[in-house]
Structure 1
């Protein structure tokens, strides 16, 4: 039996071996990009989801997230970065062609929104599943407020091919089944969580926000002001990922375990079934009044806020934890990316190529089981970077040892370049090493980060977030509308819209249960029972 590769160098050499390297060209990724429809003044578009775009319930590529105004664009898994970008462009083009004089907001933090703004919850039709989605969103509104829910992000989905896992698991001396493959994905996840601060540092693009966004509450941060009403933190990278954005005090004490498939599923199910006192006053079906799905810490699995999620494609009405338990992890969802305001589609090819390198690096690193101490250290690093990541000499903690962000980043980039070389070899390209080189410069000069560039633009022009956002929104709409369809044709989109409406009608026609019984069956079928 061959020696088990246990060090980074040995695992990297395993990746670089001819047979395994050849499989890396089939790594797949997909993108879920959120964006607000806004009117010509930058306020939320008031109308319902445009019918020409199809059914938000059943369309594969174009749907809504929390609000009728919050679109979500989804690309299918693809192995070629260029294909993913082309699909994003096509989806944006078809959308622009069907929203009249509206625009798509080009950044994560919304503008012209305050606590009194009418933020319409997304509607999905007359079926039970439609009502369930709407009640879930009502629960989010009642638990956290609607303002938090219209912050936009980009989710990046990543998977390694079956051919890779067959060879890799053999080298790791484990079966290439759902347990073996899932254990390797969880090893990647643990290293990602340790290094999660890298993503907001490089790609965080929300150092500033509209003052109206926090006008209804007191915040502990020493904001400075620019323009007429934009607030910013001088060294922040991603206010979207701070306590002003995606946070939940009820979730702060959850101990979701990422050590293996069974403990992850069991601890997540415990959270779903854990009563939350702060939500007990919100109706969950009493006397037919539905303001949330239940009174637990998590209504459903999707409510868990985490920068990364292990995922399995779920069948209709199948719970994510049941899908994971039955078939194991099939892909990872990276959730900590801000919308890239410098790209007309919210993400660029260099980011995708870098993320491929970064995630493969996390797999190549030897991983140990999580501890509470490590989890707290990881979270503290993440919080420091989102609030003050561009601060000179910022110190982070690596396994209990203090290290400057710049020094840690420099060391990381050296390791990442080795992984990039393997991917370059697999693709007969230099694009992966070029992507790493582009990001490496940001650890030398923080002003080159997305957040640094954005804040510099605001300060140099003494301009508000809202003004710059609208300038870009108009520029990007014109730019995309002048392009031709590249991967998905206009006819294809129109056909998908029609098919999605028919699917929604079929779902509505097939409903036979009351909503109360539907919800009882959904939660009653849980494998936690």
Structure 2
């Protein structure tokens, strides 16, 4: 159905459009106090209401902040906004709170779990949350991670569709097929992401408390990505074989919800989610808009939980998955094997060579050949792919491997405390308000800072003569501001004048 896809992409000169695919990042992270215990402070009062805030939300617990970037077509822009949002969140923290840098939560006692269960200031989610606590318990629900949203420009699909139109019922069917190929290949190769980016080698005191919980003999690569991490219960009957086809995925989830095995589609914790439609059946008629990859541990060596090199690698990896055919023969068995292999890699000792080494070498070599073939090779991409190839053969360079020397008595609590304090200092002691935007004027930084605090969506537009226009949107009202032409302003008063409906809490 998709014969000769790679050559068609090259002939149609679509490589650059793939490079301009969109990434958006969601980073979950806990607020902790100066002792490294989960914070009991409410969601920062300076931030606009979570009912409408486009960037700064909270997740399962009040201490669990979530940063959500807009989708961007360049990694540089994603990182710039992520750093900006992280800085604003950190500067908004109350009473000496700071951000915990690890996916696995800090040490928990019974009072912590009780506090989390009883305190949550979002009534609309109360019933669902109580259901999740009863089913999974508090600890598993407060594991954090990084989610990556990925989409390819529609113009890319439209150009390709002309070559394959006869093989598909309609355009959305064609687009779904390409997106689902990425999904299947991602699940089949998930172990590589777990190896390269796994960073949850130990669980702190109070996480595993039941007799049936695992007793690890050594640190591992990623508890979060293992069968003991953020996964559905086996009884839910929504295992990895859902990914055997788009039809099986949709039908399986609909059946699980209809029969009460799942509360709703959001309770599916697989490695990839389809995104863009409210109802699962609408993917058939309206198509997949983007994919959400949910397997990345927080990187404690980055103030943002993820770094530029990882995202550039991911973009190339996803292009590789797009152009690599999936052998559908015995696909359910292959998916089961991939699940088992990922779990095995997740539970390996972090400083030991992975049993998937040779397979990984082949994948990295094919990725390098791909960027050369498509004319996407640059000094940066070559360096990054070579670096990750080096990480593949030197496990001590992986995030989990780098954590091994700082594990003390089976714990990263002391390390987490030190890093959370260090990251806070880095983000708040800078000479400028928003370090990632230091090339912009103080007025621009101040206006963006206050806009984000209040829950106003911002976009930076550049006009002729390097003029910077700030596009601000709140409650479906959009204003454009030529910041440099403004006199000295009080940012909050100015924004309230622009948007009279703005809610100041």
* 1:60 shift after superposition: 0.8
Q: Which residue of 1 aligns with 2:422?
A: 475
1:375 equivalent to 2:335? Answer: yes
| Offset, 1:321 | 1.5
Distance (whole Å) between structure 1 residues aligned to residue 119 and residue 224 of structure 2: 21
Q: 1:267 aligns with which of 252, 260, 268?
A: 252
- Root-mean-square deviation over aligned CA pairs: 2.7
- Residue 162 of structure 2 corresponds to residue 170 of structure 1: yes
Residue 324 in 1 paired to residue 271 in 2?
A: no
Are residue 102 (structure 1) and residue 97 (structure 2) matched?
yes
Tell me, yes or no, if structure 1 residue 420 matches structure 2 residue 371: yes
Q: Secondary structure at the match of 1:91?
A: helix
Give the corresponding residue for 1:401: none
The Cα of 1:372 is off from its aligned counterpart by 2.6
Give the Cα–Cα distance (whole angstroms) in 2 for the partners of residues 388 and 435 of structure 1.
24
Stretches of structure 2 that go unaligned for 5 or more consecutive residues are: 438-443, 457-472, 476-505
> What pairs up with 1:117-196 in 2 under 5 angstroms?
117=112, 118-120=115-117, 123=120, 125=122, 130-131=123-124, 133-173=125-165, 174=167, 177-196=171-190
Aligned ranges 1:123-522 → 2 under 5 Å? 123=120, 125=122, 130-131=123-124, 133-173=125-165, 174=167, 177-223=171-217, 233-234=218-219, 236-251=220-235, 253-254=237-238, 257-274=242-259, 296-312=260-276, 314=277, 319-369=278-328, 371-388=331-348, 390=350, 392=352, 394-395=354-355, 405-421=356-372, 425-426=375-376, 429-458=378-407, 464-481=411-428, 482=430, 484-485=433-434, 486=436, 489-498=445-454
| 1:402-429 residue CA offsets vs partner (Å, 9 max, x unmatched) | xxx1111111110011233357x35x74
Q: CA deviation at 1:54?
A: 1.4
SS in 2 for 1:219: coil
Q: Which of 10, 16, 21 does residue 22 from structure 1 map onto?
A: 16
> Corresponding residue for 1:520?
none
Aligned partners of 2:160, 2:263: CA distance in 1, in Å? Answer: 37
Given the superposition, is the C-alpha separation of residues 340 and 393 from structure 1 closer, same or farther in structure 2, using an over 3 Å criterion? closer
Task: Give the CA deviation at 1:452.
Answer: 0.6
Question: Does the CA-based 8 Å contact 2:18-2:319 persist in structure 1?
Answer: no
Q: SS at 1:416's partner residue? A: helix
Q: Secondary structure at the match of 1:267?
A: helix
Deviation, 1:152, is: 0.7
Do the aligned residues in 1 keep the contact of 2:39 with 2:63 (CA within 8 Å)? yes
| Contact persistence 1:207–1:239 (CA under 8 A) | yes
CA positional deviation for 1:458? 2.7
User: Structure 1 residues 26, 14: CA separation in 2 closer, same or farther (over 3 Å shift)?
Assistant: same
- In the alignment, structure 1 residue 40 sits paired with structure 2 residue 34: yes
Task: Report the TM-score, using the length of structure 1 for normalisation.
Answer: 0.78
Give the Cα–Cα distance (whole angstroms) in 2 for the partners of residues 464 and 257 of structure 1: 36
CA apart distance, 1:112: 1.8
Number of residue pairs matched by the alignment:
444
- Counterpart CA distance in 2 for 1:393 and 1:449 is 11
In 1: Cα distance, 2:109 partner to 2:367 partner: 42
Q: Are the aligned partners of 1:30 and 1:76 in contact in 2 as well (CA < 8 Å)?
A: yes
Distance between the aligned counterparts of 1:474 and 1:345, measured in 2? Answer: 14
Aligned 8 A contact 2:202 2:410 in 1: no
Determine the C-alpha separation between the residues in 2 that align with 1:198 and 1:103.
31
Between 74-83 and 115-124, report the one with greater CA deviation.
115-124
Task: Say which is worse superposed, 370-379 or 440-449, in terms of deviation.
Answer: 370-379
- Is contact 1:353–1:431 with CA below 8 Å preserved after alignment? no
Q: Distance in 2 between matches of 1:83 and 1:157?
A: 14
- The residue aligned with 2:491 is none
* CA deviation profile, 1:308-347 (whole Å, cap 9, x unmatched): 11211x4xxxx34255344211111110100001101000
Shift, 1:215, TM fit: 3.4
Separation in 2, partners of 1:66, 1:142: 13
Distance in 2 separating the partners of 1:190 and 1:451: 26
CA distance in 1, matches of 2:20, 2:250: 28
Tell me the equivalent position of 2:484: none
1:63 aligns with 2:87: no
Cα distance between partner residues in 2 of 1:266 and 1:407:
36
Contact 2:244/2:335, CA 8 A, preserved across alignment: no
